[in-house]
Amino acid sequence: MLQIVLIRPGCTDYDEQERIQGTLDMPLNEQGRAEVARLIDEVRAKGIEQVYAPASEPAEETGRELAKALDVKFRKIERLANLDFGLWQGMLVDDVRHKQPKVYRQWQEQPENVCPPQGEMLSDADERVRTAMQKLLKRHKEGIIAVVLPEPLLSLARRFVTHGELGDLWKPALAPGGWELLQVEPEAAPTA
């Protein structure tokens, strides 16, 4: 059976400021590097065989550091670019809530129906996540792999693997540098 360690990248300045990062590349800050060091200690004994991350600076930096510390292969997955939040990128989450309360509420309740101004629909990102995760499940039938993803891609990947609910995308389930271990159910794995 395949297990996936789903990881949120370490903290950036935007995370601390509660800004929307989207496709903007931000390096890990001092706190983020400390979170990655803690993450490495926490997952060291899990037996991770390979680490995957998108070409996003905080996710890639987190993934590369993890792979290096565990002496396993690291692989970038271009298809897993983060959601393009358009004009919301760089904005404080509170600013979106105050300036666009209806859209903010709709993003909480029905995010699939919201397109950030000049951004991308969540359904488009969801399709990219599904395709990438299906390829990973075909490649890895058993063992344990790590996938480092920024929000909201992490929530989309969790929903794909667990067949669960998406949850409130404004309040991520995992803090920066957080992780969870998911069991891939046989029905989630595509057949050859």
Contacts of 34 by beta carbon, 8 Å cutoff, 6+ apart:
10
Q: Mind listing the pLDDT tens digit for each residue in 158-188? A: 999 999 888 888 888 889 999 999 999 765 4
Instruction: Identify whether the C-beta of residue 54 lies closer than 8 Å to the C-beta of residue 82.
Output: yes
Domain 2-183 has CATH 3.40.30.10: no
Using DSSP, state whether 74 is helix, strand or coil.
strand
> How many C-beta neighbours within 10 Å does residue 118 have?
11
Contacts of 55 by beta carbon, 8 Å cutoff, 6+ apart:
76, 78, 81
Comparing CA positions, the residue from 128, 140, 7 lying closest to residue 77 is 128
At 111, list the tokens: 């995010």
Domain positions in the chain: 2-183
Contacts of 111 by beta carbon, 8 Å cutoff, 6+ apart:
122, 152, 166, 169
How far apart, in whole angstroms, are the C-alpha atoms of residue 58 and residue 29? Answer: 9
Reported as a pLDDT band with limits 50, 70 and 90, residue 145 is very high
Reported as a pLDDT band with limits 50, 70 and 90, residue 47 is very high
